[in-house]
Structure 1
Amino acid sequence: MIDHVAYDEAASVLSISFRGTGRYLYHGVPRAIYDGLCAAESLGAYFNAHIKDHFRCERDPARRRFGPGA
């Protein structure tokens, strides 16, 4: 489900790349949440419990994709 994660501590923005759907930015994410994600046994389970629907999210505006919903 999750391919790659990155964190911008100065901006408190978590970037998550998902297989098949692209990269999304989560705003206002504390460092502890990023650290927890990195240490989680299951990235998907941690994401669903602690990130999804808890932070403002947007599709990465710098990434252009072709296809439905692009």
Structure 2
Amino acid sequence: MQRQAVASTNIRSVGYDEEDEILEVEFHSGGVYHYVGVPASVYEGLLTARSKGRYFGDFIRLRYPYEKVR
């Protein structure tokens, strides 16, 4: 999955698989996670959010099942 770098103190890059609704998040700590069932609108919201970390915490982190992939 292609990820794009984002300006954030916690998140290094994000990618999205629209067909499977999987959001991939790479953190500056090195961890990469897949969040499952994330609608495209939430991904777009993350990309346009002023604070990526706050948006992630408020709308993604505890709302969607996830798995660590790296």
Q: Give the alignment of 1:37-56 within 5 angstroms.
A: 37-56=46-65
Partner of 1:30: 39
User: 1 CA distance for matches of 2:47 and 2:39?
Assistant: 13
Q: What 5-or-longer segments of structure 2 have no aligned partner? A: 1-9
User: 2 CA distance for matches of 1:46 and 1:53?
Assistant: 12
1:14 alignment partner, one of 23, 28, 32: 23
Q: Report how many residues are paired.
A: 61
Greater than 3 Å deviation, 4+ residue runs: none
User: 2 CA distance for matches of 1:52 and 1:37?
Assistant: 12
Aligned-residue RMSD, C-alpha: 0.8
User: 1 CA distance for matches of 2:47 and 2:60?
Assistant: 13
So what's the TM-score if we normalise by structure 1?
0.84
Partner of 1:68: none
- Compare 38-47 and 15-24 and name the one that shifted more: 15-24
Q: Pick the structure with greater CA Rg.
A: 1
